[in-house]
Structure 1
Amino acid sequence: MLTLSNINFIKNEKRILSNINIAVKEGECIALVGASGSGKSSLLKVFSGLIPHFYQEDHFSGQLFTNGELVTEANYEAYIKKTGVVFQDPKSQFFTYKVKDELDFELENNGLERGFIEQKVKQIARLINISHLLDCALDSLSSGQKQRVAIATALINDSDTLILDEPSSNLDLSGTNLLKKLLQSVKDTGKTIIIAEHRVYYLRDVVDRFIYIQEGKVMKTYTNREFFSLPDALRGELGIRKLSIKAIKPDRLTKEIPDKDPLVLNDVSIAVKRKQLINSINLTQSRGEIIAIIGRNGVGKTSFAKTILGTQKAMTGHFLIAGKPLNKRERLKSVWMVMQDSIYQIFGDSSYNELLIGHVQSSADQIKKLLKKFDLWHVRFTHPYNLSGGERQRLIIAVGLLQQRHVLIFDEPTSGLDGKNMLRVSSIIKEAALDHYTLIITHDPELIAEICDRVVMLDHTGVVLDLRKEQLDGSTLENLLTF
């Protein structure tokens, strides 16, 4: 059993956790739910022992017990060896260059025999469906593939407890279904699982209890049955995502989209390090139209976006706006992309100053309005590195909306967002799209249903499906996103 007793945590003079008391039985699976920035990730760090053992400059009080024994500096190393952790950003926990080396790493550090290590790596790779990735460089993987590798590294040492921070955020539905089966099989072995998650539909048959966190406090604990019986109005009020994909109903209102000055991609082929990913993309988009770009993890969606942006060279093809061809340099001036790894787009020392960079002409009222619109005014003086994943994502989108560009590309803009912030970001993207060409790379069926006019599916040959929203419902979306 894991027990948190009277946990309090203050970071940078901001109270993150207040009087937390949680007991998790051996073999139980619990999920922490609540708004972005409510303290879920910090609570996972307490369960893992990272807080306070690696956050000693911050104020912490309280105790963590494992089977009645207090976890201290003296026995922390033994505790962490039996605890597997998957962070919100999986790259932050990688130490090596190749996937296989990453899986080898901890087993080698424990002095295990080479033959056992080889057998264990093959076994876990088959379980997580990453056998085909073992010889790949970690930095060449898609975000979803990195997520699976991180889960494999957390499991390879036969941990008693598995801690996961938004494990489905970068996964397509096939990956999410695989994750569900994996969690169920891990639970069946008697291991304890603690998850922080916004997308909860796949946890219906896995989680025993849901703990709702608000402003660093435990507000309510639900049994599985109670949670999945929540009235839709209350669920929305709590900021919890849809409880079933089939319950998603796309907006049927058809908006007027003028068929003029189109963005045209003609025979564009995508490659990374001379390896062709997508053979030939032909796509036409009207100004004001929002297109969802979907496809399985690793197909090349982000590389496609970077090629449009101009940071990656196309092997072949032409890009035109209103009939005018755009070369690589011109595209850099015409396209703004909100990256999936938003931390790489951070340069300021506060949320407020981040919006000022390159936009000193922007008025204080304009910046204040934008920060309030994204529910970031209360963290305007906070360093972006100290924001939650969802808060940082919203900040980068806000920066993007200050750019005077023709094309807006969003790479998984709702991956770290709760239900309320997903709707808030959807509304802002929808508003910004009125005078832009907007492309959204996403696995999020709720986002697609909320704002997208078309869904375009890519595979290695190019565009294989192009549907308008009038052709979609929850079941269709589920089928489309399960590759």
Structure 2
Amino acid sequence: MVSIQGVSYGYDSRKKILKVINLEIKQGECILLCGESGCGKTTMTKLVNGLIPHFCEQCELEGTVRIQDMEVASTKLYKIAESVGSVFQNPKSQFFQLDTDSEIAFGMENQGKSKEEMQSRLQNTVHNLHLEKLLGRNIFELSGGEKQLLAFASVYAMNPSVYVLDEPTANLDFSAIQSIKQLLRILKQNGHTIIIAEHRLSFLYDLLDRAVYLKNGILIKVYSKEEFLALSEQDRKRMGLRCLKEEEGELPKAHGAGKDIGLSIEALTVGYKKKCVLFNNISFSAIQGEILAITGYNGIGKTTLIRCVCGLMKQMGGQILLDGKIMPEKVRRQQCILVMQDVNHQLFAESVWEECKISGDGLEDSVIKSELKQMGLLSYADRHPMALSGGQKQRLAIVTAILSCKKILIFDEPTSGLDYATMIMVSTRLKKLAKSGRIVIVVTHDKEFMLSACDRVLKI
């Protein structure tokens, strides 16, 4: 079905991202691409869906990639798209429409399907994915998790024979992940080939056929399902892989409102235009020395809540206090920094170093070097932020937040795109920040990270 023979690839002539990759994928297989951040997983997905070499100028590609009887490099992209459907790591980069219904239908329109068939497939897609709440919505008003589900739906509606998924569960809640898992099981039973680049592995426990482990662009080993699931904890951690089974355990509930120290959210009402109330009289506290996790279903309003806490939007009622004193919006903007779910929105400079200098204005170079080193980014100091992998961008945004020296640090899904070692690195660094007297809040669906880093949880 998919044949990768002797492939080496670099975005320029200076460095190879992949080195002599050989892999044969049979029809109906579910293949996991795994390894540390930056190991080449996303690049491999681009080789299969044709973005490499068709959308990469001056790239260095050796070897051949074939899908059925097509050689990817010499086949038009529209022809490849008839067989291969892709869900990107950043789903926003594959949207073409303004509303959800049109986006789901867009691929089918390009395939020349009849109106009746498109309508039938759209209804089946919405029913099978349980996406009724997404119909008739403005794409720009969706949460990150909802956008991920929409991207999957738009591909599912086209019914490709090969699915290429890059971090498809990065921002999804537990319920949505289970829906995707069930759908992947059905796709596999119907003979579809599935290639998934992922860090969160537990949902694939009983789905995968083989696991392809990459390190520094080299295919180290192809594991059978039995070999992969039999990995010891020590070997798994050494390889930089996340848990293979769902983590068990619960955190204590968040402190109630009224704390004289730290951040106190008291009877807060949040919404838009006084008509759409997302939260009514929500109350909790976050104190120094602890990390508070905020979790809940996709689209419930977690990001809206923290935007209000940061002073980026007005509350409709209630108040927010710091150490017993009311904080108006202006003060909140001065005291808080938010690392967004899509960090591409807050990376502006021409290099990693310059990005840090902007945030850490006035700080000694030694301080910036220390933070970059702790996050494993010092060797990328001269690299353009947009040339980093998804996980590396995430770490850079965390570094810039730390360098801002703000009192309140809020992170929205900080572990999307992070491997095990980097997740532990981020967890350790955030714990140190909390112990140093800063208030740390994390919005996350990642239970493994939650149990590793956080002290309390607010479920909304």
Is this a same-fold pair by TM over 0.5? Answer: yes
Cα distance change on mapping 1:251 and 1:218 into 2, 3 Å: farther
Which position in structure 1 is the counterpart of 2:265? 265
Which position in structure 1 is the counterpart of 2:255? none
Point out where structure 2 has 5 or more consecutive residues left out of the alignment: 253-258
Deviations 1:437-479 (A, max 9, x none): 2111111111111121111111xxxxxxxxxxxxxxxxxxxxx
Identity, % of aligned pairs?
A: 35
Which position in structure 2 is the counterpart of 1:470? none
Which position in structure 2 is the counterpart of 1:100? 101
Decide whether the 8 Å contact of 1:128 with 1:182 is kept in 2: yes
Distance 1:73 1:314 in 2: 55
Distance 1:295 1:273 in 2: 23
| 1:369 to 2:376 alignment | no
Amino acid at match of 1:441: V
Secondary structure (helix, strand or coil) at the match of 1:348 reads coil
| Farther-moved stretch of structure 1 (20-29 vs 109-118) | 109-118
Which position in structure 1 is the counterpart of 2:379? 378
Secondary structure (helix, strand or coil) at the match of 1:35 reads coil
Spell out the pairing of 1:316-395 with structure 2 (5 A cutoff): 316-395=317-396
| 1:5 to 2:2 alignment | no
Deviations 1:342-394 (A, max 9, x none): 11010111111110114342222111111110001121111111111100000
Distance 1:200 1:45 in 2: 21
Which position in structure 2 is the counterpart of 1:474? none
Which position in structure 1 is the counterpart of 2:414? 413
Which position in structure 1 is the counterpart of 2:198? 197
Which position in structure 2 is the counterpart of 1:480? none
Secondary structure (helix, strand or coil) at the match of 1:336 reads strand
Which position in structure 2 is the counterpart of 1:255? none
Decide whether the 8 Å contact of 2:53 with 2:73 is kept in 1: no
Decide whether the 8 Å contact of 1:351 with 1:380 is kept in 2: yes
Amino acid at match of 1:439: I
Deviations 1:184-218 (A, max 9, x none): 11111101100000111110111100010000110
Secondary structure (helix, strand or coil) at the match of 1:61 reads strand
Secondary structure (helix, strand or coil) at the match of 1:267 reads strand
Q: How far off its partner does 1:430 sit?
A: 0.7
Deviations 1:93-131 (A, max 9, x none): 000011001012122223322122111111111111112
Distance 1:327 1:384 in 2: 33
Distance 1:304 1:439 in 2: 12
Spell out the pairing of 1:59-458 with structure 2 (5 A cutoff): 59-246=60-247, 248=248, 261-274=261-274, 275-434=276-435, 435-458=437-460
Distance 1:301 1:251 in 2: 18
Point out where structure 1 has 5 or more consecutive residues left out of the alignment: 253-258, 459-483
Which position in structure 1 is the counterpart of 2:256? none
Cα distance change on mapping 1:170 and 1:130 into 2, 3 Å: same
Instruction: Number of aligned residue pairs: give it.
Output: 451
| Farther-moved stretch of structure 1 (88-97 vs 446-455) | 446-455
Secondary structure (helix, strand or coil) at the match of 1:236 reads helix
| CA RMSD after TM alignment | 1.6
Distance 1:319 1:360 in 2: 28
Amino acid at match of 1:26: Q
Secondary structure (helix, strand or coil) at the match of 1:393 reads helix
Cα distance change on mapping 1:214 and 1:76 into 2, 3 Å: same
Cα distance change on mapping 1:96 and 1:75 into 2, 3 Å: closer
Distance 2:260 2:132 in 1: 47
State TM-score, norm by structure 2: 0.95
Q: How far off its partner does 1:436 sit?
A: 1.3
Amino acid at match of 1:448: M
Decide whether the 8 Å contact of 2:359 with 2:400 is kept in 1: no
| Farther-moved stretch of structure 1 (364-373 vs 68-77) | 68-77
Distance 1:299 1:35 in 2: 31
Decide whether the 8 Å contact of 1:272 with 1:303 is kept in 2: no
Secondary structure (helix, strand or coil) at the match of 1:456 reads strand
Amino acid at match of 1:438: V
Distance 1:374 1:327 in 2: 33
